[in-house]
């Protein structure tokens, strides 16, 4: 009897975990997909940069204590678990593009300047 109850409990726990993992699918953002190829500003979560202090920090701040906390570049791809951004010394020199893959959990926001 105890073995039967334990077996049912294990099966139910597995089903719950499967259902929970499906709730958080890694479906790429349709909003971001519309902007692939455009220049953007990626704001990083402050705790991902080691700045998770109790001080209020604006979400659109470019610097904290002289350190850059944003990445400007061209949105190259949107994946289920992150985004790909390419940067160059100047927007017109794409030959020297540096590519970055940024995990979704490190992103605070992505903004697109008006053209």
**pLDDT score of 7:** 45
| Range 26-111: architecture per CATH | Roll (2.30)
DSSP string, 5-62: HHHHHHHHHHHHHHHHHHHT--PPPHHHHHTTTSEEEEEEPGGGGT---SS---TT-S
Q: Is the pTM of this model over 0.75?
A: no
**pLDDT score of 26:** 63
**pLDDT score of 61:** 76
Average pLDDT by consecutive 10-residue portion of the chain (115 residues)? 46 45 59 92 81 69 79 93 85 71 92 84
- CB count, 10 Å around CB of 102? 18
Region label for 15, one of left (φ > 0), alpha (ψ between -120 and 50) or beta (otherwise)? alpha
- The domains of the chain are located at 26-111
């Amino acid at each position: 009897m105890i073995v039967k109850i334990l077996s049912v409990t294990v099966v139910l726990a597995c089903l719950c975990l499967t259902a929970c993992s499906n709730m958080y699918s890694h479906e790429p953002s349709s909003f971001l997909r519309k902007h692939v190829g455009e220049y953007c500003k990626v704001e990083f979560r402050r705790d991902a940069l080691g700045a998770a202090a109790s001080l209020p920090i604006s979400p659109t701040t470019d610097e904290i204590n002289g350190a850059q906390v944003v990445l400007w570049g061209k949105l190259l791809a949107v994946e289920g678990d992150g985004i790909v951004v390419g940067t160059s010394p100047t927007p017109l020199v794409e030959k020297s593009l540096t590519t970055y893959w940024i995990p979704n959990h490190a992103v605070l926001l992505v903004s697109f300047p008006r053209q």
